[in-house]
Amino acid sequence: MTGWRWRQSWRPAGTREETALYIDAACEAIDRALDDRTDRTITRWLTPVCPECGRMPVETEAGTHVTYGDFVVVGCEGYWVISPAAVGIERPRWDDWRSAPAR
Ligand SMILES: [Zn+2]
């Protein structure tokens, strides 16, 4: 349960509709980042490891994580891994896991 308390501050996840829009925008942003390596807009949020469970999603777990290519887009508990602002989604509040305390 280490880390549970600060992970709660990442909530709430978006509604189903918001999350769908976010996933579309994040996947497009990942495509742009892979096409143009000089585009560093979202680079710092690209990770193959889920920030919520600290593990690399495996295919047998499909449905718990949303991944795109090698990268986690939505964590297993619904957290948006890539900054929504960086992919053009307005959001009232989003806590950056990159600045969360280390576990
Ligand atoms: Zn996870």
**More confidently predicted of 94 and 31:** 31
CA of 77 to the centre of ligand 1 (A): 7
Global pTM reads 0.82
Give Cα separations from 73 to 1, 2, 29, 66 (angstroms).
Answer: 23, 23, 11, 5
Spacing, Cα 49 to ligand 1 middle (Å) = 8
What is the C-alpha separation between 65 and 74, in angstroms, rounded? 6
Q: What is the pLDDT of residue 8?
A: 55
Ligand 1 centre and the CA of 36: distance in Å?
28
pLDDT tens digits, residue range 45-84?
999 999 989 999 986 665 689 999 999 999 988 899 999 9
Q: How many Å apart are CA 75 and CA 54, to the nearest integer?
A: 10
Question: Average of pLDDT values for 20-29?
Answer: 96
pLDDT higher at 92 or 96:
96
Which tens digit of pLDDT belongs to each residue from 6-24?
Answer: 555 555 567 888 999 999 9
Ligand 1 centroid to Cα of residue 51, in Å, is 7
Asked if 10 and 79 touch (Cβ cutoff 8 Å), the reply is yes
Helix (H) or strand (E) run with residue 66 in it = strand 66-68
